[in-house]
Amino acid sequence: MNKELSEKWQERFSFFDKYGSPKTPEFKAAYKELSFGKRILIGMNIWAFFFGFIYFLILGLWRKALTLFAINIAIFTIIGFLPVNNSVINAVGIAVNILWAITANYAYYLKETKNDQSWNPFEGVL
């Protein structure tokens, strides 16, 4: 890593260093032991939830941003052809934002520690 990370990022990175990717059994066991606030800190990124594409670009995750953006477009294009009401569209929108939020922390960790430049935003997460 060539830049100074905030305390939040340092805590996230040390958790990932110690327990591995979010899909490993070690990570899941340690994650369950965390308090609610720490679970949110490690497992989700609030900025990514609200500003997904822009936040990924700010972090330098442009490949993953484009992939998730394409997924968003595909999902909402399909929903546009279905006879659904606004509450379904809103629920899908929230689910899509959760995808941005749960992938951001580990994707940034991979970029900064392993110099990962892949297009797969779900690498190690899902």
First CA to last CA across the chain, in angstroms?
A: 25
pTM above 0.75, yes or no: yes
Q: How many CB atoms lie within 10 A of CB 82?
A: 8
The span from the CA of 106 to the CA of 119, in Å, is 14
pLDDT higher than 90, residue 69: yes
Do 123 and 16 touch, CB atoms closer than 8 A? no
Considering its fold, how many domains does the chain have in total?
1
Q: Determine, yes or no, domain membership for 124.
A: no
Q: Determine, yes or no, domain membership for 120.
A: no
Q: Determine, yes or no, domain membership for 119.
A: no
Q: pLDDT, tens digit, for every residue of 2-57? A: 578 899 999 999 999 999 999 999 999 999 999 999 999 999 999 999 999 999 99
Q: pLDDT, tens digit, for every residue of 80-91? A: 899 988 899 999
Question: Which domain, by its residues, includes 65?
Answer: 7-114
Q: Determine, yes or no, domain membership for 123.
A: no
Q: Determine, yes or no, domain membership for 76.
A: yes
Per-residue pLDDT, 16: 96
The span from the CA of 119 to the CA of 126, in Å, is 14
Per-residue pLDDT, 3: 72
pLDDT higher than 90, residue 125: no
